[in-house]
Amino acid sequence: MNKIQLLEQCIKNHRGSISDNRTTVEELCVADADAISHFDNVPCLLYLAYVKRKMGIDEGKIFVRNKLERSFQKLSSESKEYYLDKYEQIIKVLI
């Protein structure tokens, strides 16, 4: 597989909803990076909930927590292990 084909596969298979189709390390890395970005951008998720979607306090908190829980579940086992502490700390704040 050449580099262009590999890049096309990464783009096609980066979404968590199609995790069974990832066959290369590159695809796994791109998919994990997509999910990990949510843990590094919690303020953006809060902004999305409260400003853009005009959610109330509890509704927005649940929205963000659910998004992060789904993102964590989509991670590879190696990334889950690495990000577990950060994930647990963020979730504690959102309870």
Q: Give me the sign of the Cα torsion angle 47, 51, 68, 24.
A: negative
C-beta of residue 30 within 8 angstroms of C-beta of residue 12: no
Give 60's contacts (C-beta < 8 A, 6+ positions apart): 46, 49, 50, 53
What pTM, to 2 d.p., does this model score?
A: 0.77
pLDDT in tens, 46-78: 999 999 999 999 999 999 999 999 999 988 899
b/e string for 3-15 if b means 16 or more Cβ within 10 A? eeeeeebbeebbe
pLDDT in tens, 70-88: 999 988 899 999 999 999 9
